[in-house]
Amino acid sequence: MPHHVNIALPIPARRTFTYTVPDDADVQCGMRALVPFGKRTLTGIIVETHAPSLAEAKPVHEILDVIPVFDATMLEFTKWMSDYYLASWGETLHAALPQGMTPESVISVSLTAPLDDRQLQEMARHAPKRAALLVALERHKGPLHVSTLQRALQSDSVASQLDALEHAGLVTISREIHGRAKAKTQKAVSLSADIRSDHDKLRALLDELDSRAPVQARIISVLSLHHRRSEEPMVVAELVKSAKAQTASIQTLVDKGICEEHVVEVQRRGDSDGAESLAHRDETALPLHAEQQHASDVIADALSSGQQKTFLLHGITGSGKTLVYMHAIRKARELGKSALVLVPEISLTPQLIDRFRMTFGNDIAVIHSRMSPGERYDTWRAIAGGRISIVLGVRSALFAPIASCGLIIVDEEHESSYKQDSPSPRYHARDSAVMRGVLNHAVVILGSATPSMESMYNAQTGKYHLLELHHRSDNAVLPTVRLIDVRDARKRKKMSGAFSDELLDEIKKRVAANEGVLLLQNRRGFSPRLECGDCGHIPTCNQCSVALTYHKHTNLLRCHYCGSTRPALKSCAECGSAEMAEVGVGTQRAEEELQELMERDGVKARIARVDLDSTSTKGSFRKLLTDFKNGSTDILIGTKMIAKGLDIDRVTLVGVINADLQLYVPDFRSTERTFQLLTQVAGRAGRSGSFKGEVLIQTGHPTHTALLASQLHDYHMMYNDELQHRREAVYPPYSRFVVIELTSTDMQMVDAHAQHLCFALPRTHPALQVLGPTRPMMDKLRGQFRRVIIIKNRKAEDPGGNILRHAISTALQHYRDRHAHSNVRVTVDVDSQSAV
Ligand code: ADP
Ligand code: ZN
Ligand code: ZN
């Protein structure tokens, strides 16, 4: 008699599915199973082993594990996550599994050691399929591809046998593409090096091709966008799709020498091996200062007592939070527990990793986005096997299979990159970390110099325990902050381009004294756009509803999302005014402008730029930092990449070129985010007792709370002021902010569907405020129309969020039963971080 199991499948449907397994099969919850689903075969996770029987249940193809890949806690955790974020459990479990854990990821198999005859005979008796597999491998004398093995054994799948044999150490499985011979290769192209390195040349080329050969222009646009993110060439198939082009047009560009052809295998490399370390000492040897000592003691007590507690560690920049983390980790290890450290973005925190490596050596696994499936798999196994006691990684490291997880640290907890946008589950790694802490009975530390409104509110209301560090370590003091009113300076003719004379003077002084200068311009590239001086109209893309970038010398407007162009008009399309003016300065323009101004004033300054474009190659960010740290560069000018976590003694001046970029975007978090960015970047100055720091912030709004609070280093001023607004407008922390988004290529359809769905939501419930449907700021993206419904879920009326979840699930069900159509996509984002 077969029995029934319930399996969570990686599809959006928010339910599990019943299958049968043979009665003698050893099945446990948390094991992977290969199952038929319609015409497809899916890998799901067994979540219930004694399910009620169901007549039409199909048998599973295969159980893929001998020991579960998820333990009971991780099953509970992912279940919670899928409930809270309204995702399917199967999708959530799928997100929690590293790539490389699917049977398809196995590339080749070889024998670990020559076979022992007796062992083989033994096995032939109780596991004939495994034995046959070993014999096939032995006969071949070399690694074999899985499909070859399957053919040799006349079997559809050998995944479970392989898994068992790998566990027993009898076979070695390779999950990576090694030699070229076995690697699958693809054709790819890149922009030729001279065009990539020369922005003007690129622009000239684009402008030339725009009218004559728009398809070629589009290909170049797509490629140059691609190169901002990656050094690697772009796979031709991908390029054809993104640029809506034929391979013939690509070939033309190759023939002209504008593009270069490559043959690639998709392979990723590790992070920082062999590079110069950005850390120089084991910091745990330093004596703690009084506040650090107190925080460490309190945390150590919680760890020893084994109680679950969540701390908010609010420590000003340079107060030594990292050292508190390190002591907590050391304590956890003494108690035989493992630690999980989450950071917002690995590539932006090379220094933090080096500091941890310097202190903990190799007992630390770093999980980052550039890992290959093979590396991921190996790391996952090493962690699950308890061979590593510290895991440091980005958002997804939250799912690391740490068995005795006693400590979870979320560094820079206010960072919005902790929120997953897409795909589902759209979880917030910080809030989920707190939940994982609860389930693991672990101590959780959320650390920041500028805590999120939500976390501080939780601390103020007693849900979290607040620990504060008010002083900098090592006799350093906070820098003085000066606000420069650019509107006033411009009137008094004290501005050259984007730079005030005041800021230029300070820069020159520091360069002369051989001290470091950091300049923040939180916008990439040149990005000038046109704006009407009378009515404020900004020309936007028809496909994407984003501001078009202005290309001066050809007088064209170009969209950076889809590559389309149109001529720039002299007069405003809205009001007819002739006051269309170029506005906006990106990092690249700012760098050029500064270089010119320094030359004008006879100052020799070595300037380097830090943004996504200049750091796309592996190790380039690290190199820029090393040069700056040892004084071969005087000035780093960059996006918010330079605001995060840098700890470099010689920085005595931080300048903010335009503090207002984020201030007036229609986002209820804009004050909070501006304050966070300014405080973080200001915190890079004067971090050592031997250098005093100064910060100059250029703004048109010197009396705005975000600016004033930054000037006074007064987090609580911002917090209290902002809290008032949030309460009045029922925004977080007083509510859960939920965004339901509908997208479609058909505008009428998306409008109608948004209405239908909105109509199905309760309109008068005191716990729910439903707004919309409305057009978001970007109401069209790459040809997809977007509509949003916003729900503010009052926490006072619905503390656990049950009313919210019930309302949305019911409405979605109603919508699916009556209206759903494949041309309209609906997504739900609980605790959304995006501006709409
Ligand atoms: P935060 O993360 O709070 O901004 P860091 O942990 O980066 O601060 O510490 C800032 C600097 O002060 C680092 O160089 C660190 O090594 C140093 N530091 C921290 N605590 C101490 C201490 N107790 N004694 C001496 N130096 C310290
Ligand atoms: Zn106008
Ligand atoms: Zn566009």
Q: What is the pLDDT of residues 199-218, one digit of tens each?
A: 888 888 888 888 888 889 88
Instruction: Please tell me if the CB atom of residue 317 comes closer than 6 angstroms to any atom of ligand 1.
Output: yes
Mean residue pLDDT of the chain comes to 87
752 pLDDT above the threshold of 80 = yes
What is the spatial distance between Cα 746 and Cα 579, in angstroms, rounded to a whole number?
A: 35
Please choose from 341, 445, 473, 690 the residue to mutate so as to test ligand 1's pocket, defined by most ligand atoms within 8 A of CB.
473
pLDDT given at position 667: 83
Per residue in 654-663, pLDDT tens?
999 999 887 7
Instruction: Please tell me if the CB atom of residue 120 comes closer than 6 angstroms to any atom of ligand 1.
Output: no
183 pLDDT above the threshold of 50 = no
Question: 89 with 14: CB under 8 angstroms?
Answer: yes
Q: Token digits for 657?
A: 């070129």
Name the residue at shortest CA distance from atom 6 of ligand 1.
320
Ligand nearest to the CA of 537: 2
Lowest mean pLDDT across 20-24, 69-73, 510-514, 751-755: 20-24
The fraction of the chain above a pLDDT of 70, given in percent, is: 93
Instruction: Please tell me if the CB atom of residue 322 comes closer than 6 angstroms to any atom of ligand 1.
Output: yes
Can you give the pTM of this predicted structure?
A: 0.78
Q: Token digits for 784?
A: 């997809």
Please choose from 277, 280, 283 the residue to mutate so as to test ligand 1's pocket, defined by most ligand atoms within 8 A of CB.
283
Q: Token digits for 461?
A: 């209301």
Q: How far is the CA of 536 from the centre of ligand 2 (A)?
A: 6
Mean per-residue pLDDT, 518-541: 78
Helices 350-360 and 321-334, axial angle in degrees (round to 10) = 40
Per residue in 504-521, pLDDT tens?
999 999 999 999 999 998
558 pLDDT above the threshold of 50 = yes
pLDDT given at position 589: 81
Mean per-residue pLDDT, 367-380: 78
What is the spatial distance between Cα 312 and Cα 253, in angstroms, rounded to a whole number?
A: 55
The one-character DSSP state at 577 is -
The one-character DSSP state at 74 is H
Mean per-residue pLDDT, 418-438: 95
Ligand nearest to the CA of 290: 1
Question: 10 with 43: CB under 8 angstroms?
Answer: yes
Q: Which of 257-271, 614-628, 808-822 has the highest mean pLDDT?
A: 808-822
Name the residue at shortest CA distance from atom 23 of ligand 1.
288
Residue 281 CA: which ligand 1 atom is closest? Answer: 16
Angle, CA 325 vertex, CA 319 and CA 327 arms, to 5°? 105
> 80: which residues sit within 8 A by CB, 6+ positions away?
435, 439
Going by pLDDT thresholds of 50, 70 and 90, the confidence category of residue 64 is: confident
Ligand nearest to the CA of 319: 1
